[in-house]
Structure 1
């Protein structure tokens, strides 16, 4: 054998580049390759089927189309099973017709295990379960929830009592859990009301939890979450469990020392009420996912959006907040730039993104007034597509002023009126000022006049910009061919300028 194969690191490198289907053959080549090859083969499993396949075929039979155990496992079979399960670091299970056939005999195996259930997967780090919470699944889950587990991702459409009882023991079974996400596919009040107590109970025991994604667990559950000292990332779905609405006379201490807070909701009122129930939200970044469908048919949408921003500014730590993102899932809300004014109190803001579902009218003067308080801004996304022709858009004059007020911008998404170029010096559009940091520019469905002139201005303002992204939305079929060609020409000119610049600098 070549001396290089005596180096374990080289062996693992060879195994890591071996096709998954060939690892079994490689493991049987010699003892040198056996352990590394088996470690990689079993490290990450996308199915439960390998646990059945590693046992003798005569161990299982069929009864009315279902797999059943024919006989108990002897000591040698248990040793074989443990030889492989001890190598597993992650398991991902998704719902399929074959899952039921596999999970039933597997649960019987675990019931007959002569050792403690945790001995099945002593090195398991991550478990993903996107399937039903049946009684048999509970048996498997009981063996998979081990002290070594660090990440748990559950998505269930239904849950048996046995499954819920196992979940309620998470705090003691997985004391070192760091990342936890729980979702319910059957989104009804009854489902959330039934399952919530079993999730709420163990949360207070997960003292090492860094990231949590869950629905609104009610007042008691939210209080438990607030006491998790290690928590840095929290995602709450507030669009569920109407019986657990915040009560106005209750006020919680709030969330302290978070890096990321994400709130998902279907109404402005619900998220505003939630924030109003807190004394403070100390988070570096806040994201709000709105389903604007209800607001779309209501004239009160802009007013409630404005009230939300006022409450957000009152409750968040203005000195700590560095990033805010607003995402609309469906529908559109028409608003004016004044709705964002409360965020000007957050002087350390580096990222502001209004991604979808909200058309914000903004002039050149309003754009400058808005960003004047954010000299550290690096990412600005105010509009990516304007659906209403009555929406006011800034011009390239406003873009030049923005460059002066926010010199650290690296990413910008803004629909501008690129037809008004009067007064702009094409040779030196920024008056000697440019931004060499900007790498990403999205102009949405900005109207374009002269493609060459627009490209010259953009190239002069952003010398390192290689391309600009346009968004035609769902109206491309009805747009004039000349309008589409003008936008595409801007991109062609920018690419050509970039090539010439590179050759010149060489």
Structure 2
């Protein structure tokens, strides 16, 4: 054997590139390849079916009701064989298919000789199945101290399943990343699950990222005590209430990223107002899709972010769509004055059909550039039909941003594409094009889209001329 093949690290690397279908043959080649190949084969399971398939075919049958039944218990030799494989598993994905889970649950529940930890090295669990009683039994097997990541999508759940979830804090004390989604029944399941998961989550002192439905005031109070928490995503339901007078929460000490999915503007504003301090660098607010009649009532106002004015280290602010915007140039300047380190600003809202609707112009955009010099990405609707007072030769009056790489102006109204292109290229000399997004609820007219395409064509021409000029000067 070549000396290199006696190096365990090299063999493990080779095993990682071998196709799964070829790993069993590779493992049987020689003793030196066996363990690395089996580790690669069993490391990441997309289902628990392989565990059942490695057992004797006649081990399972059917009972009188047609359910899966264990014909005989596993002896010590069989357990040794099964544990030889399960101990190598680092991640398990459970699809919405309980056929494979039932036999595994029967094995453990019916055999007193079953290993206490069937998956001692499990690091990650992806769950996309209903929370039945059998699923609860399986969950007990995979809630092990080594678990670091848990992602669950639960369309329905039994009380037994929730009871197992309540042991999460003690069963998986090292958990670092967790997401919990309730599918199409978030309102009902969130209400049922909250008493079972609130306290266990507060015991996860190594938790770095968390994505859950609103846990209520008491639950959020528990989360503020998690000093290791760096990323938090909260989904509010229609019944989420944060409009309590004088509500005051201590805030999050080390949180770097905060994402809120809300039904109304008021929910986001009330939640942010309840925090005594916010040191978060990245904040995202999305609004749940509603029908058009509901969306018409939504109006974005800068007052929603008043609690964040003290957050001087904010680098990213992203506001989702499905709402209208009414904001003057002065209000836009007021919004960004507090955030000199802002790098990404996304206010993905749309101008209203109302003739009294106010949206920023190029003057507001120039003010924004002066107050946020580190900006690299900007998404904002502005009125580019009002060009009064803008010098086409020097549109920013000396103010320009050479860092900006992405600019999206949505369905901004436009009249003179050539002048708009001159202003944009003057303000953002390194920008290659202007992006848009699908207008909601009113689609853009074809003529408007064509005008923005012309803007991009002109900006592209400017970039080409600049590149050629640079090449000529470089050759001199």
TM-score normalised by L of structure 2: 0.84
Separation (CA, whole Å) in 1 of partners of 2:235 and 2:442? 34
> In the alignment, is residue 377 of structure 1 matched against residue 342 of structure 2?
yes
Evaluate the alpha carbon distance shift between residue 7 and residue 492 of structure 1 in structure 2; reply closer, same or farther with a 3 A threshold.
Answer: farther
Please list the CA deviations of residues 124-159 of structure 1 after superposition, one character each: whole Å capped at 9, or x if unmatched.
Answer: 011122212222112211111111011222332333
Question: Cα distance 1:344–1:388, how it changes in 2: closer, same or farther (>3 A)?
Answer: farther
Unmatched 5+ stretches in structure 1: 298-329
Q: 1:449: how far off?
A: 3.3
1:123-202 alignment, distance < 5 Å: 123-185=121-183, 187=185, 191-202=189-200
Q: Is the 8 A contact 2:280 2:311 kept in 1?
A: no
Q: Is the 8 A contact 1:110 1:140 kept in 2?
A: no
Q: Does the aligned pair in 1 maintain the 2:187–2:237 contact within 8 Å?
A: no
Q: What is aligned with 2:213?
A: 215
Tell me the distance in 2 between the aligned counterparts of 1:409 and 1:249: 35
Structure 2 unaligned segments of length 5 or more: list them.
472-476
Higher alpha-carbon deviation: 458-467 or 422-431: 422-431
1:102 pairs, out of 100, 103, 107, with: 100
Partner of 1:501: 466
SS at match of 1:110: helix
**Residues 192, 241 of structure 1: 8 Å contact kept:** no
Contact residue 90 and residue 125 of structure 1 kept, 8 A: yes
Aligned to 2:474: none
What does residue 361 of structure 1 align with?
326
**1:45, CA displacement in angstroms?**
1.5
Equivalent position SS for 2:156: coil
The aligned residue for residue 227 of structure 1 is 225
Q: 1:7 matched to which residue of 2?
A: 7
In the alignment, which residue of structure 2 is the partner of 1:54?
54
How many angstroms apart in 1 are the aligned matches of 2:351 and 2:243?
Answer: 35
The residue correspondences of 1:383-402 to structure 2 (distance < 5 A) are 383-388=348-353, 390=355, 391-402=357-368
Question: Residues 451 and 489 of structure 1 are in contact (CA less than 8 Å); yes or no, is this contact kept in structure 2?
Answer: yes
Query: Measured at CA, do residues 278 and 112 of structure 1 come closer, stay the same or move farther in structure 2, by a change above 3 Å?
Result: same
Q: CA deviation at 1:185?
A: 3.7
Do the aligned partners of residues 258 and 118 (structure 1) sit closer, same or farther apart at CA in structure 2, a change above 3 Å counting? farther
Structure 2 residue matching 1:153: 3-state secondary structure: strand
**1:405 and 2:403 matched:** no
User: How many residues align structurally?
Assistant: 469
Please list the CA deviations of residues 254-308 of structure 1 after superposition, one character each: whole Å capped at 9, or x if unmatched.
44332233344334555555556655555444444444859965xxxxxxxxxxx
Q: Distance in 1 between matches of 2:416 and 2:200?
A: 63
For residue 446 of structure 1, give the secondary structure of its aligned residue in structure 2: coil
> Could you tell me whether the CA contact under 8 Å between 1:393 and 1:415 is conserved in 2?
yes
SS in 2 for 1:444: coil
Pair 1:240–1:31, CA change in 2 (3 A) = farther
Alignment of 1:441-452 (within 5 A): 441-452=407-418
Counterpart selection for 1:266 from 248, 263, 266: 263
Residue 117 of structure 2 corresponds to 119
SS in structure 1 at match of 2:255: strand
Aligned to 1:318: none
CA pair 498-45 structure 1, distance change in 2 beyond 3 A: farther
Shift of 1:389: 5.4
For 2:337 and 2:198, the matched residues in 1 are separated by: 44
The structural deviation recorded for 1:46 is 1.6
Aligned match of 2:34:
34
Tell me the CA shift for residue 400 of structure 1.
3.4
Q: How does 1:321-360 map to 2 (within 5 A)?
A: 333-335=298-300, 343-360=308-325
Structure 1 length normalisation: TM-score? 0.80
Structure-2 separation of matches of 1:84 and 1:162: 28
- Give the direction of change, closer, same or farther, for the CA distance of 1:471–1:32 in structure 2 (3 Å limit): same
1:374-397 deviations in Å (ceiling 9; x for gaps): 333222223454343533333334
CA–CA distance in 2 between the matches of 1:250 and 1:383? Answer: 30
The alignment yields a C-alpha RMSD, in angstroms, of: 3.4
Helix, strand or coil: the match of 2:100?
Answer: helix
Structure-1 separation of matches of 2:3 and 2:409: 59
SS at match of 1:180: strand
Q: Give the distance between the partners of 2:289 and 2:233, measured in 1 at CA.
A: 19
- Alpha-carbon offset, residue 175 of structure 1: 1.8
Aligned equivalents of 1:281 and 1:430: distance in 2? 33
Q: Tell me the residue number matched to 2:420.
A: 454
Higher strand share: 1
Query: Does 1:91 pair with 2:92?
Result: yes
Tell me by how many angstroms 1:51 deviates.
1.0
Residue pair 1:58, 1:70 contacting (<8 A) in 2 also:
yes
Say if 2:78 is the partner of 1:77: yes
Indicate conservation of the 8 Å contact 1:118/1:146, yes or no: no
Report the 3-state secondary structure (helix = DSSP H, G, I; strand = E; otherwise coil) of the residue aligned with 2:206: coil
CA distance in 1, matches of 2:270, 2:319: 21
* Structure-1 separation of matches of 2:449 and 2:292: 32
The correspondence of residues 405-444 of structure 1 with structure 2, limited to 5 A, is 405-421=371-387, 424-444=390-410
- Tell me which residue corresponds to 1:319: none
1:116 to partner: Cα distance: 6.0
Q: Is the 8 A contact 2:127 2:152 kept in 1?
A: yes
- 8 Å CA contact 1:441, 1:468 repeated in 2: yes
Q: Is the 1:118–1:145 Cα contact (8 Å) retained in structure 2?
A: no
**How far apart are the structure 2 equivalents of 1:156 and 1:447?**
43
